[in-house]
Amino acid sequence: VMKVHAEAAFASLVLFLVFTSGLAWAGGQQGVHWSYHGDHGPNQWAQLSPDYELCKSGKSQSPIDISAPSRSNLDLLSFHYKDTPLNILNNGHTVQVTYGLGSFINLDGEYYNLLQFHFHGPSEHTVDGKPMPMEVHLVHKNTRGGLAVVSVMMTTGKEHAAIEKIWSSIPAKVWGKVN
C-alpha cells in the first residue's frame, strides 16, 4: 500500500478527488476536437458530440477552481499501485500513460482500477483562481463503469526520476505511441 506523502505525490500542493464521466475519459481516444478555449472550449463541449451531453448539465464540470483549499482526512482513500510496463501516447491534448492491470485505489470500500494517467501543463484546474505549473490525473474505473480521477497538482522543483523517464519517451507525433 502506498501512502500519500508530498514526495510520493510529486511535491503536490493539493490532492483532491473528482468523480467524472464522458469528456475526461474521451481524452484518450481519437474523435471530436475539443479544447479549453474558444469555439471548442468548455462552454461548447456539450454541442461537440452527443457523448459530451453531460457537460451541459454537470454540476462539477471540468475545469474547476478549488477555492480556499484545506487539509482533509483521506482515510477513506488508499492507493495500491504496482510496477508495470507503460504505454505512452501523445494524443494532441496531453501525454497519456496507459497502466497495466493490477493497480487500484480503494475509496470508501469500493475498488477502482487504475487505467491511465495523463498530464496537463499548465494545470487544467486552478487553486484560488491560479493555475499550477502542471497537473496529473490518475484515471480509475470501478466494475460498474464509474470513474474516479485523482488529481495531483505539481510545482516546479527537483527533477523526479519517474517523470523524467516518461518525458524522455514522449512520442513527437500526435497519436504516436511508445511502449
Buried b (16+ CB within 10 A) or exposed e, 42-58: eeebbebbebbeebeeb
Q: How many residues does the chain have?
A: 179
Decide which of 127 and 25 is more confident: 127
pLDDT at 40 over 90: no
Label residue 20 by pLDDT band (50, 70, 90): very low
pLDDT at 130: 93
* pLDDT cut 70: percent of the chain above it: 80
Q: Is 93 a catalytic residue?
A: yes
pLDDT at 161 over 60: yes
5, 33, 80, 93: the active-site residue: 93
Label residue 61 by pLDDT band (50, 70, 90): low
pLDDT at 160: 86
The per-residue pLDDT for range 92-115, each reduced to its tens digit, is: 878 899 999 999 999 999 999 999
Please choose, from the candidates 91, 108, 107, 89, the residue with its C-alpha nearest in 3D space to the C-alpha of residue 99: 89
Can you give the pTM of this predicted structure? 0.72
Q: Average the pLDDT over each of 3-12, 34-43, 53-62, 129-138 and give the range with the smallest value.
A: 3-12
pLDDT at 8 over 60: no
Buried b (16+ CB within 10 A) or exposed e, 113-128: bbbbbbbbeebbbbbe
Q: Please tell me what DSSP assigns to residue 56.
A: H
pLDDT at 63: 81
